[in-house]
Homo-oligomer: A and B are copies of this chain.
Amino acid sequence: MQNNGKRCMTSPDKLDLIFKALSDQTRRALLKRLSDKPASISELALPLAMSLPAASKHIKVLERANLVSCQKLGRVHYCKIKPKALSDIDRWLGFYRSFWEDKLDHLEAFVSEEKK
């Protein structure tokens, strides 16, 4: 065995954290909810069919990905979306954008070729 089955420990970069945070339906739902307006953890957990600690952990994942920020006022934690982090994955996607647009062009070309 080369490394005893251990994972490669290069620390996860920003995109890892963002993509991973977004890879869960619950967390995407939280984000959508917060895109409407800020909310407390309890408010966020309420429609979620899971315990408060579970919801709280999801929020923490979103915080680590820099997609959400929370502020404690009294005993309530107010969370709000930080949409700017999403522009990071938009920029990543940018490299491929022309790519799938080209693909669509090719498909159109193919289709119009078929018509003849």
Interface residues of A (CB under 8 A from B): 2, 8, 10, 12-13, 15-16, 19-20, 22-25, 28, 31-32, 35, 49-51, 81, 83-84, 86-87, 89-90, 92-93, 95-97, 99-100, 102-104
Contact = CB atoms under 8 A, between A and B. Distances in A.
Q: Is the interface of A mostly helix, strand, loop or mixed?
A: helix
Contacts of A25: 10, 12-13, 15-16
Contacts of A90: 93, 97, 100
Number of copies: 2
B28 A23 contact: no
A91 B90 CA distance: 11
Nearest to A22: B19
